[in-house]
């Protein structure tokens, strides 16, 4: 795997610092609230596992699997729910936990769906943000780091379902995905 990485963007220690900072902020902001972390599988699983342990207030967790309808052909960016939540959302303060905010289509659509279910609030926490690629107006409430418009893998993020288990975040060599 290592040989496919062009550059390490964040090593394990840097990731730890980033996650700790977000966890501290969330713990302050959600004190006394009814926090429910919603991890969007699979990309956010590593971030979720670290973030929940960096949060020092009580919270619950749940998981969703969504898929974007089509790709280039569909500009509406409607997501299809493959695995839904197990919890009734009324009364919860939702925090959607994502690996990366890219075009923003997935999260925008997901947020709209979740808002119809009567939660107290819905916010977004993303480990990475690629602002250059945004196609809809959406910004994260909590964000780890902004990254340039490069394809990154590791720390949960994949290319063709591979590299998720790399403990750091790296830029994938172009020749790997332009083959």
Euclidean distance between CA atoms 127 and 131, whole angstroms = 13
SS3 174: helix
Q: Region of 108 please: left (phi>0), alpha (psi -120 to 50) or beta.
A: alpha
Residues of the shown chain interacting with ligand IMP in the complex, contacts defined by CB under 6 A: 43, 98-106, 151-153, 157
102 is catalytic: yes
Residue 50 binding partner per list Mg ion, ligand IMP, none, with a CB distance cut-off of 5 to 8 Å that depends on partner kind: none
User: What minimum distance in Å lies between the beta carbon of 118 and ligand IMP?
Assistant: 25
Build a one-symbol-per-residue string for 7-46: x at contacts with Mg ion by CB under 5 A, - elsewhere. ------------------------------------x---
User: What minimum distance in Å lies between the beta carbon of 156 and Mg ion?
Assistant: 8
Query: Cβ closer to ligand IMP: 24 or 139?
Result: 139
Q: Tell me if 170 contacts Mg ion by CB under 5 A.
A: no
User: What minimum distance in Å lies between the beta carbon of 128 and Mg ion?
Assistant: 11
Q: Give 155-159's long-range contacts (Cβ < 8 A, gap of 24+).
A: 155/10, 155/15, 155/46, 155/47, 155/99, 155/127, 156/42, 156/43, 156/44, 156/45, 156/46, 156/47, 156/99, 156/127, 157/43, 157/99, 157/100, 157/128, 158/42, 158/43
Catalytic residue among 50, 102, 132, 141: 102
User: What minimum distance in Å lies between the beta carbon of 168 and Mg ion?
Assistant: 18
Number of residues in contact with Mg ion under rule CB under 5 A: 1
């Amino acid at each position: 795997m290592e040989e496919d990485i062009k550059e390490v963007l964040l090593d394990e220690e840097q990731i730890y610092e980033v996650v700790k900072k977000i966890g501290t902020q969330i713990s302050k902001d959600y004190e006394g609230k009814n926090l429910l972390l919603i991890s969007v599988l699979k990309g956010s699983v590593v971030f979720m596992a670290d973030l929940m342990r960096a949060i020092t207030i009580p919270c619950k967790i749940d998981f969703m699997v969504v898929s974007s309808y089509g790709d280039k052909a569909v500009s509406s960016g409607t997501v299809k729910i493959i695995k839904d939540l197990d919890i009734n959302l009324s009364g919860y303060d939702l925090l959607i936990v994502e690996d990366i905010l890219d075009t923003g289509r997935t999260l925008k659509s997901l947020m709209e769906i979740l808002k119809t279910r009567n939660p107290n609030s819905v916010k977004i926490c993303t480990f990475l943000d690629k602002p250059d690629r945004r196609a809809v107006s959406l910004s994260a409430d909590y964000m780890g780091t902004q990254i340039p418009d490069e394809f990154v893998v590791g720390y949960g993020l994949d290319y063709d379902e591979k590299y998720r288990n790399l403990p750091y975040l790296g830029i994938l060599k172009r020749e790997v995905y332009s083959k």
